[in-house]
Amino acid sequence: MGSFAALVSAIRIPLSQGTARIRWTLAAALSLGGGAIWSMHFIGMIGYRVDGLDLRYGLPLTGVSLLIAVAVSALGLTLVASHQRSIGWLALSEPFP
C-alpha cells in the first residue's frame, strides 16, 4: 500500500510547481519512507527474538529512524523528479558493494 501511494504521489511531482510540488514530494516520501520501507523493517524487527535477551525499542530513536527514512526518500524523489541527468547523480544512486 505504501509503495502504491508513493507511486501515485510521485507521478505528480514533476508535473507540479511551487508548494504543490513540495506537498507531493512530502506525500510520496511519507508513503515510501514511512509507509513502505520503514514500517516493513520495523515490523520485521519487532518479530526478531534472541534467546536470553529482552529486546526493547526506545521511542526517540525509533522516531529518528522514521524521520531518516522519510528524509532520504524525499531526497531521492527530489533527485529523480528533477530533470537533471548527470554522471555525478548516477554515481550517487548506485548501491555500494
Reported as a single tens digit per residue, the pLDDT across 27-56 is 999 999 988 988 888 888 888 888 888 878
What pTM value is reported for the model? 0.75
Domain boundary assignment for the chain: 2-93
HEC string of the chain? CHHHHHHHHHHHCCCCCHHHHHHHHHHHHHHHHHHHHHHHHHHHHHCCCCCCCCCCCCHHHHHHHHHHHHHHHHHHHHHHHCCCCCHHHHHHHCCCC
